[in-house]
Amino acid sequence: MKNDKVSLREWIKGHHPSAFLLAAQFILLILYAVFDGLHSQRAVLSAFGGLILMLIVWVVDRSPAVNWVAWVLAIPAFVLSILSAFLDSPFLLGWSAVLEAVLYFYAAGSLIAYMMRDTWVTTDELFAAGATFTLLAWGYGYAYLVLQTWLPNSFYNGARPGEAATFVELLFLSFTNLSATGLGDIMPISVPARVVAMMEQFSGVGYVTVVVSRLIGMTINSRERKRH
């Protein structure tokens, strides 16, 4: 029986949790495209979001970060997200978004530490590079959701002036801002929203400059060593 447990543990370690996390986030994007705007389906998104949170904890456990911190953030965030979906409570939604933003940023920082500690590049670290980018985008997306919930006039919705942006629209703003593509009909107009947007721009440039360029450099050096 003990050998079975060891084999299962080794099987889990042999697969790439960062790849599972990245795939789950893309699936969640598809679910948002199907269900966004339908209040009756928010519980489905909240439930799948809970799976994402568990995957984040799994990824953090593979990194140098302290595992219990991730669980302390993930459990109440999951509970509040489910309650806010069923009760339609802006108060619960705001606090759920706060915890989820902190958890995503914590996981992103943990993955960055995980990628920076080696002098060679593994397959899991390459998946972690993509997963970290999405974690940062989701973290800032939830930060925008907090601002919109607590400061309703923080964003201008170009597609539907006068209406609040959906989470997908805020997430779209986050991805375009983090990647510096400049697309967007959702604009931050309050001072706090613009400050957060500037912080995200700095994070995106810093991530590409420091982390991604380092991984590319180590990959090139590794291939050069193999040739010689």
- Alpha-carbon distance of 149 to 41, in angstroms, equals 20
Amino acid 23: pLDDT = 86
Q: In the predicted model, what is the mean pLDDT of residues 31-43?
A: 67
Amino acid 2: pLDDT = 46
Set out the domains of the chain in order of their start, with CATH numbers: 2-227 (1.10.287.70)
- pTM, whole model, 2 decimals? 0.84
pLDDT band (50, 70, 90) for residue 101: very high
CB-side exposure of 214: number of CA atoms within 13 Å? 18
Amino acid 20: pLDDT = 81
Q: In the predicted model, what is the mean pLDDT of residues 2-23?
A: 62
**CA-based nearest residue to 144, from 89, 85, 184:** 184
Which of 109-113, 149-153, 220-224 has the highest average model confidence (pLDDT)? Answer: 149-153
pLDDT band (50, 70, 90) for residue 24: confident
pLDDT band (50, 70, 90) for residue 30: confident
Amino acid 102: pLDDT = 93
3-class secondary structure, 151: coil
pLDDT digits (tens, 9 = 90+) for 127-147: 888 888 999 999 999 999 999
Amino acid 6: pLDDT = 46
pLDDT exceeds cutoff 60 at 193:
yes
Q: In the predicted model, what is the mean pLDDT of residues 79-100?
A: 85
- Alpha-carbon distance of 142 to 170, in angstroms, equals 8
pLDDT exceeds cutoff 70 at 153:
yes
**CA-based nearest residue to 102, from 127, 79, 62, 70:** 70
The number of beta carbons lying within 10 Å of the beta carbon of residue 182 is 7
